Amino acid sequence: HSEVSRAEIDIFDREGVFIQEVMTPLLRDFQKLRIVMEHISTAGAVEFVKNGPDNLAASMTAHHLLYNRNALLVGGVKPHFYCLPILKRETHRLALVEAATSGSPKFFAGTDSAPHTTATKESACGCAGVYTAHAAVELYAEAFESRGKLDLLEGFLSEHGAAHYGLEKNEKQITLVKKSWDVPAKYEFGGEDVTPLRAGLSVAWSIQK
């Protein structure tokens, strides 16, 4: 993750400090290295990547595109929205969505799906991470649909990342259909269970079987 982890740095400021202390000198010293800021979460990171050199790109999670910190904190602490980088205010979420749906090859998907068990999330010191693997593509589709940019989803999911790393594009295809489905409350996981994002609620898109 593109964050510093020193205890004295406010958790909402750690991405910005990382850009200043780590990314800026890294780009100066390694001008031919392909660099990715994983799971960016702030408008500042968006601008840094947009204005950076061609060897710099960034990944984004579905949950950072769809939710802000109110989902975590309003009406009580919701541990299944606790992740790192932590969810930020709405202005940052909107900046992320704008960048993701811009068609820029500098931005692409990186789910950071984290299958921490329900017990380790719902505890006095819960693990950081959101489980989205059950519906990652469908959740990204919701974010792109919100901006009327579904035509740019394929590039974000399947092309930009491969191009940045100099890899061949995956030629396999899936088909998304506008058909909602209800997310289970739990998924079995190694004798325990995980609570997925949208547990007990619906997702607007489905992958055609």
What confidence tens digit (pLDDT) does each residue in 37-73 have? 999 999 999 999 999 999 999 999 999 999 999 999 9
pLDDT of residue 1: 86
127: its two tokens: 């693990």
What confidence tens digit (pLDDT) does each residue in 5-41 have? 999 999 999 999 999 999 999 999 999 999 999 999 9
Neighbours of 63 (CB within 10 A): 27
Residues labelled as active-site residues: 112
Q: How does residue 209 score in pLDDT terms, banded at 50, 70 and 90?
A: confident
Neighbouring residues of 165: CB distance < 8 A, sequence distance ≥ 6 = 34
In DSSP terms, 35 is beta-bridged to: 56
Burial letters for 70-79: b for 16+ Cβ neighbours within 10 Å, e otherwise?
ebbeeeeeeb
95: its two tokens: 């900046």
What confidence tens digit (pLDDT) does each residue in 100-130 have? 999 999 999 999 999 999 999 999 999 999 9
Under DSSP, is residue 66 helix (H, G, I), strand (E, B) or coil?
helix
pLDDT of residue 165: 96
What confidence tens digit (pLDDT) does each residue in 130-156 have? 999 999 999 999 999 999 999 999 999
By the 8 A CB rule, do 51 and 36 touch? Answer: no
By the 8 A CB rule, do 150 and 178 touch? Answer: no
pLDDT of residue 122: 98
Neighbouring residues of 181: CB distance < 8 A, sequence distance ≥ 6 = 202, 203, 206
Nearest to 200 by CA among 111, 127, 118: 118
E strands in 43-87 = 56-60
> Phi-psi region for residue 127, left (φ > 0), alpha (ψ -120 to 50) or beta?
beta
